[in-house]
Amino acid sequence: MSGSLGDVQGSLAALYENLQTLVLLLFTDPTQLSYGQAFVLVGVSVLLVATVVWTFFGRQNGTMVFINAVLRTFGTGQTKTGAGFTPGKVYVYGPPSVKAIPSLFPFSMKLETYLRMADIPYQPVHVWSTQGPKVCAYTSCNGKIPWIEYNGEAMGDSGLILEFLNKEKDVDLNQSLSEADKAVSRAFTKMVEESTYWGLVQSRYMDNYGKLHDLFELPWTVMFLVRSVGQREIRQMMRGHGIGRHSKEEIEGIMEKDLKAISSFLGAKPYLMGDEPTEVDAAVFGQLSEIVWTAPDSYLHRIVTVDYPNLLVYCNRIKDRYWSDWDQLTKKSKKDK
């Protein structure tokens, strides 16, 4: 019996020493940790936190307290659906800004740029988990990012939001365009949102996943934990779309043609359709801004800044005109607080 107890004590002592070594590596050189070692550290951390939560809150409430604590680590907020809203005010829901850009979601950049172009006042609401009938983090009930609330009603999909606000606010950024021009605008909008967007997804979430913890300003352990599931879902989405059935080289070729088409049509014009911005500029800027300011080492960045530099000039023009608070917003990141 005493021998068995000694073995257990020896095993516990060895485990404790191993944990000490892993913790030391974590704070000195985390790149030396293997996947298995990282999982051990994360598992132990979760167990410790869960134990504390269960001790103070009990089993029934402990689960929700623990989940909410994790979610609120990376952003918080409450929806205003049905109560507490200001009539006629647009509330835009989405993730908080980071050092690189006001939003890491191109459709959020599109929507906010449109609101600024149309001079529609709005209030960003940075949330992680929603309340009421909405259950998806960072999404509305239809799973679209971003989403808005207006007069107590929620709406997702940036394209449908623009159509709704155009009617509700009597706005038409395309009023100077002919029907043929509007057709061209729609074609470019659909190209960047249904084709170019997926090149950004491939580059960011598949080819450069190791850099995401810096970009999203999240602990590397979080990105490590969601990598397998996240990338599997992205592969499925890309394959369902169709572009994921191509090779990496073929996707890059498609992206180069997309960006060349925008550059060729833009030419020396200040905006895509002429001297003043229209809705298509919000859509195109939404995608290109992510390439310019969040993907500095990617082939997409090279294409936009080196191969077709008029696209970089175009992005800076829109940024300077409509995002005068860019620097202020991007300083409001977690690492600066």
What confidence tens digit (pLDDT) does each residue in 89-116 have?
999 998 889 999 999 999 999 999 999 9
Task: Quick: pLDDT tens for 173-189.
Answer: 999 999 999 999 999 99
Contacts with 193 (C-beta within 8 Å, 6 or more apart), sequence order: 107, 159, 283, 287
**Structural domains of the chain ordered from first start:** 9-72 (no CATH), 90-168 (3.40.30.10), 179-336 (1.20.1050.10)
pLDDT of the residue at 225:
78
User: What is the C-alpha separation between 330 and 304, in angstroms, rounded?
Assistant: 22
pLDDT of the residue at 294:
96
pTM: 0.74
Q: How confident is residue 2, by pLDDT bands cut at 50, 70 and 90? A: very low
Task: Quick: pLDDT tens for 27-70.
Answer: 666 666 676 666 666 665 655 554 444 444 443 343 334 334 44
Q: How confident is residue 223, by pLDDT bands cut at 50, 70 and 90? A: confident
What percent of the chain is predicted at pLDDT more than 90?
55
What percent of the chain is predicted at pLDDT more than 70?
69
Q: How confident is residue 14, by pLDDT bands cut at 50, 70 and 90? A: low
Assess whether pLDDT exceeds 60 at residue 307: yes
Contacts with 204 (C-beta within 8 Å, 6 or more apart), sequence order: 212, 215, 290, 294, 295, 298
Low-confidence winner among 44-53, 147-156, 209-218, 247-256 (lowest mean pLDDT): 44-53
- Give the position of tokens 């995608």: 287
Contact 324, 312 (CB under 8 A): no
CA distances from 247 to 36, 47, 237, 242 (A): 30, 41, 15, 11
Low-confidence winner among 2-6, 259-263, 266-270 (lowest mean pLDDT): 2-6
